[in-house]
Amino acid sequence: MTGTSPLIFHHYDFSNFAEKIRLIFGLKQLEWLSVETPMYLPKPDLTALTGGYRKVPVLQIGADVYCDTAMIAAELERRFPDPSIFPGFTAGLAQAITYWAEKSLLWPTARFATGVIADDLPAKFHADRAAMWGVPMNRERYRSAAARHRLQMLAQVAKVESMLKHSGKRFLLGDEICLADFSVYHPLWFVGQCATELTKEFAPFVKLQGWMERVHSVGHGKRMESSAAIANAIAATSRPTTPLGVDLSGNEEGFSTGERVVVTPMDYGQDKVEGQLHRLTQTTISIRLTGQSSGTKNVVSFPFEGYRLKRMAL
């Protein structure tokens, strides 16, 4: 636990991005409260906490709310530096590999696995994802895309096998586990979550098998079940601790604290979060929510990269 404020993790078990963070809890041997969110909209408890951001996972510590796994990983590393997710020289490289894993490896992998199980997923899930991606999506489209995406996935999994084979190390960037391992692992883990028999796709990749077992064995730390009601009560009685201030060189747009801004993910699920600018650095955008009806106003943080910050029209 962190002083008096526990780590509250808003997620669902099936979420691969959440698995990345659950493993970081495992590495750092942290205790955390688990609050399950739905897999598709509406998610009234989550969006009330974040001001509108709908993706999973979200980490809450008191009235400080961290969105996106890049932000969550950075905050966990700041608060609990030992053991590090960046042992030795791995920081920049691990982040570059993360970018590849989550932009390139993940999507064919997810489309393959969800394509195979398309008929088992609820119609509401398909409708929600169609709206989120802004494309027509239905079971038929999911199913028909699976074979194509399978080959794209295997071409990329071969790269992971090659990394492990050529380095001869236990993990991707050495004998110690680092962020790169969690980021490459979570898309592959997702395949087995969709259907265990799909993991046979990885059978030809001998080094990958052992590596996946080693990453899995890190575990999830100490998980304790909780509820959105408890999480809300904690937020309402806490004060945000995120420091106030703008520290961004080249801030040519002249952003300053207190002004009304809107933050939007640049990729998908582009739900807007509005509030007052609280903190701005080269790595972080934090805003204080203004729309909450009572209690403390949460400070919600996003990674600087991949999020658009705009001044609200007066």
Binding site for ligand GSH (CB under 6 A): 15-17, 39-40, 54-56, 68-70, 269
Question: Cβ atoms within 10 A of the Cβ of 1, count?
Answer: 12
CB nearer to ligand GSH: give 15 or 238: 15
Looking at the Cβ atoms of 39 and 48, the one nearer to ligand GSH is 39
Residues making up the chain, counted from first to last = 314
Q: Which long-range contacts (CB under 8 A, 24 or more apart) does 157-162 make?
A: 157/105, 157/109, 157/188, 157/201, 157/202, 157/205, 157/208, 158/205, 160/105, 160/184, 160/188, 160/205, 160/208, 160/211, 161/205, 161/206, 161/207, 161/208
Distance in Å, CB of 269 to ligand GSH, minimum: 6
CB of 182 or CB of 202, closer to ligand GSH: 182
Q: DSSP assignment of 22-86, as one string?
A: HHHHHHTT-EEEEEE--SSS--HHHHHHHTS---S-EEEETTEEEESHHHHHHHHHHH--SS-SS
Q: Closest-CB residue for ligand GSH?
A: 55
C-beta of 164 vs 228, nearer to ligand GSH: 228
CB of 203 to ligand GSH, least distance (A): 25
Residue 26 CB, shortest distance to ligand GSH, in Å, is 18
For ligand GSH, the closer of residues 39 and 246 by Cβ is 39
Q: Least distance in Å: CB of 72 to ligand GSH?
A: 7
Name the residue nearer to ligand GSH (CB basis): 17 or 171: 17
Least Å distance, CB 158 to ligand GSH, is 24
**Minimum gap (Å) between residue 56 Cβ and ligand GSH:** 4
Euclidean distance between the first and the last CA atom of the chain, given in angstroms as a whole number: 41
